[in-house]
Amino acid sequence: MSEEIAVIEGDGIGQEVIPAAVEVLDAIAETDASVGPFEYVAADAGDAVAAETGEALPDETYELAANADATLFGAAGETAADVILPLREAVGSFVNVRPARAYPGVDAVRPETDVVFLRENTEGVYAGHEDRLSDDLSTLTRVVTSTGSRRLAEYACEFVADGRGPDHRDGFTVAHKANVMRETDGRFREEVLAVADEHGIEADEELMDAFATKLPLDPSQYGVVVCPNLAGDVLSDLAAGLVGGLGLLPSANVGADNGLFEPVHGSAPDIAGEGVANPTAAILSAAMLLEHLGYAEAADRVRDSVESVLADGPRTGDLGGSATTAEMTDAIVDGL
């Protein structure tokens, strides 16, 4: 039986970097008999399809993502919120996995950075109800459940136990603001630490504001970081700034039995159509997809090849080189 991968290129450079990622998946499936076979099913989403049909996320795309084994997604321009939020829901994603890692050969503010954020993906302020109560007053209700907090923590424990966290740190750190939001972050903190304890996983904690100072000063203290939704959004962007280059950062939205894998960058309209986009973030997202499907060794092969190309291979303009997307992709495929 083949595994079905939904491929949603979307807008702008999504149409350039997602085919590069598929090329890498193909090369892996061809050279490793234990991987695949994969059946790719393409679907539309984003500005272009919205302009044609009035719908940024056609029903058939939503259904495809909901039923596929995994989805590879590029980017949507103006319609990003109308596309990505329902797609995350389609795959039932409860955790957003965002590694931020500096690579030898790439300029970074903090070259020793190697952290993975596990961000709660369904609750917090993003699930809250916002109300405009009067001309003067607006409010937001924040949602935290024990179920959601424990589900994230169970994932974090498994992630750490499987050795998927950075090598330099055991266990994980939970970042929160339970000293102020005693009910919501209090519950989150308590449940996450309790689950870690039940699994015998080492867990320490940081107040998220202190963490925002300590991370850039010394990122080597941290490995896996577990956060509520908004905090994870902000803090993982902070970490992205430390490693330099939007073109490098992959992400995974993981659900119970499928997942959506996407580069952190957007559609980059300023360089779209020129064949010069950095394919690394999309290719590393494909590596996360492989890992999610249980092909950990294949995922490592992809990462190793990316790493050696970043160290001394052809690179795109955003990394100071002059290679095209195709040239950099070819080098990564050759390195497999």
Phi then psi for residue 282, to 5 deg, are: -70, -40
- Please state, in angstroms and rounded to a whole number, the distance separating the CA atoms of residues 150 and 94: 11
Query: According to CB under 6 A, which residues from 181 to 220 bind ligand ATP?
Result: none
Query: According to CB under 6 A, which residues from 300 to 329 bind ligand ATP?
Result: 316, 318
Q: Does 111 bind ligand ATP (CB under 6 A)?
A: no
Nearer to ligand ATP (CB atom), residue 241 or residue 266: 266
Interface with ligand ATP (CB under 6 A), residue total 18
For tokens 């399809």, name the residue.
49
User: Can you read off the two tokens belonging to residue 283?
Assistant: 């290719």
Q: Is 214 a catalytic residue?
A: no
Of positions 111, 216, 266, 314, contacts Mg ion by CB under 5 A: 266
- Please state, in angstroms and rounded to a whole number, the distance separating the CA atoms of residues 317 and 321: 5
Q: Is 155 a catalytic residue?
A: no
Q: Is residue 166 within 8 Å of 114, Cβ to Cβ?
A: yes
Smallest gap from Cβ 214 to ligand ATP, in A, equals 27
Of 214, 324, 314, give the one whose Cα is nearest residue 273. 324
Question: Which of 26, 69, 82, 237 does the annotation list as catalytic?
Answer: 237
Question: Which of 26, 32, 40, 126 does the annotation list as catalytic?
Answer: 126
Nearer to ligand ATP (CB atom), residue 77 or residue 223: 77
Q: Does 265 bind ligand ATP (CB under 6 A)?
A: yes
Q: Is residue 204 within 8 Å of 173, Cβ to Cβ?
A: yes
Q: For residue 331, what are the contacts with CB-CB under 8 A and spacing of at least 6?
A: 309, 313, 314, 323
List residues binding ligand ATP (CB under 6 A): 13, 17, 75, 77, 246-247, 265-271, 277-278, 281, 316, 318
Residues of this chain that interact with Mg ion (CB under 5 A) are 266
